[in-house]
Every structure is written in C-alpha cells, then in structure tokens.
Structure 1
Amino acid sequence: MSEDPTQSLSQDGLRQILARLDSIDSRLSNVENRLSNVEGRLSALEDKVDRRLQETRPIWEQVLVRLEGVENRMGTLESELRTGLRRIERQIETLAKDVLEVRGDQRDLEKRLDELEPKPTQ
C-alpha cells in the first residue's frame, strides 16, 4: 500500500493531467481577475452611492422640514375651517328662525287685514 499510485501512470497520462491542471489554474486565475474587477466596480459604485446620499441628504432634510410646515399649516387651516363652518351653521339657524318668525307675523298681519277689509257682497 505504500507504493506511489503515480508510478503506474504512463508519461502521456501524466502530461494530460498536468495540462489539465495548468488549464484549471489558468481559468482560476481568470476568474480571480474578473472577481477583482467586479470588486473594484462594486467599490466604485458604493462610493458613488455614498456621495449621492451626502449630496441629497440636505435636500431631503429641507423637504421634510417644509413638509412638516405644510402639515402644521393644514392642521391650522382645518381647525379654522371647522370653526368658520360652525359659525355659519349658527347664522343659518338664526336666519331660519327669523324667516319663520317673519312668516308667522306676516300671516297674523294678513289675517288682521282680512278682518279689517270689507267683504264683497255677492
């Protein structure tokens, strides 16, 4: 069992194995180079994204501040609108009561006028 298994291989077989190993080594080097290129591109892309984030962060912060201001103004406007609508509703109720009173008074006056006017004889 201590004998070398490569001793039984022919010189041609050994050359084929070595050629295949060289081919595998070459392909592996090619893959490593391509992976290194991908890592470089990824690193450049990450740097670019970081720069863009730094460039746009102040813009987004301003947008958020302005949006908060708009929300606050909308809340104030909504509150004022509700208050105004309640006031208008009360005024409409008052006007409706006044109209009913005037109509009642008008009916009373018409009735009194009818009683005062002579009735035509037929």
Structure 2
Amino acid sequence: MKRKWVDNEVYFGPDRRKGGLGKRWGDKRSFDDAGEPPPLGAVMRRLRVQLNGIASPDDRRRVYELARFAASEAEHQHLLECADSLRNVMTSIVAGDFTNADAWVMHAQAHFNGPH
C-alpha cells in the first residue's frame, strides 16, 4: 500500500486528500507537498526534539500525533517492542510527564537500533 505523507509548517501526517478529477476551479496550489512517510528513526529523533519544546496544548497535541504515527509505523514494520515503548510515550504525554516520555522514546530508539 502506497501512503503519501505531508510534512509542512501547518500539518504533519498522512495525506487525507482524496484522488479525483484534479484540482478544483480556482485552486492556486502548484506545489504538492505530499510524499513518502519519513523513516521511523527520523520520526523518533524529531519526537525527542519536540518533547523538549512543549509550551501549549497545541504543542502537546502535535507531539502526541507524532508519537501515534511513530507507534503505528513501528507496528507496520513489525517492531513490536519499539511500538510498545512508543505507546508508553503517548501515555506519558497525556499525563504531562515529558521527562518520562523522553525516556520511553530513548527506549524505543534502543529497540529500533538493536538487532532486528
């Protein structure tokens, strides 16, 4: 299954646009910023960086969605221990324990970088 991914300043996640007849009348977009999903290792590094800068509920929501994507991608790649650690990251984010969430990301990275 080919999945497209959007990563820009407004949205980070799967491309939710539906295929169809093309652009609507008057649509000025000339750049399609949908691409392949980022590598799991890069997502986990980005997650660690963003965990250190949470200042608002919107930041928390964005980091939670990033952790949810990382867990889903780890599961998709059959890295179950890594996915479990990333689900613990999500639980820690909901609880507001960002130090513990960072520790779980490091745990997930250890599973990811270890022997597969």
Structure 1 or 2: more strand by fraction: 2
TM over 0.5: no
* TM-score category, normalised to shorter length: under 0.3
TM-score, length basis structure 1: 0.19
- Which structure has the higher relative contact order (CA within 8 Å, separation 6+)? 2
Structure that is richer in helix per residue = 1
Tell me which structure has the larger Cα radius of gyration: 1
